[in-house]
Structure 1
Amino acid sequence: MTTIKAMTGHTLGDSGLLSLLMAVLAMKEGTVPPLLGLTDPISEAAGLGLMQGSPVSGDLAIAQIDAFGFGGINAVANVEAAR
């Protein structure tokens, strides 16, 4: 699990599109970027598989992108790699 918000900040309506692009690139490269600035997650998040420190490599087949915000930006997209 990762997020790019710490890298891009509040980008208004573009945040969902940026997240979608990052997910597609991560799937293409087989690398999940870490959560920027996450050094000490709470114990309740232990089972979530949060990416910390450096990118993690792997075979990424499916990604879910959530874009929620004030003003009605509420969207979820699921993308699957072509095999």
Structure 2
Amino acid sequence: MIKQSDIEGRLRLFRYGIVVVVVVTFLVSFITPIVALNAALGSAAPPATQHLGTAIIFTVVAAIVGAAAYFAYSAILQRSMQNQSAEQQSGED
């Protein structure tokens, strides 16, 4: 049986995971082009701020996907808890 505290703990852990994924997405999408272009072009590489827009777009997309996954997971957990409580009540009758 899933308790309410278990659901809150799972959702908290899921939120932390989403934050980590969003931060890593920003860092990777911002730093990777800079490193690759500096290695390939040397001093002729474009400035780092040129890649900031793309990094922000990737980060926003990752945040939206993470938020959708969070709300879906929350709904699934709540529904499973309701189903378990309904099964227990029908078993008691």
TM-score tier, shorter chain, comes to 0.3 to 0.5
TM-score (norm 1): 0.33
User: Going by fraction, where is strand more abundant, 1 or 2?
Assistant: 1
TM-score (norm 2): 0.30
Higher RCO, 1 vs 2 (CA within 8 Å, ≥6 residues apart)? 2
| Larger radius of gyration between Structure 1 and Structure 2 | 2
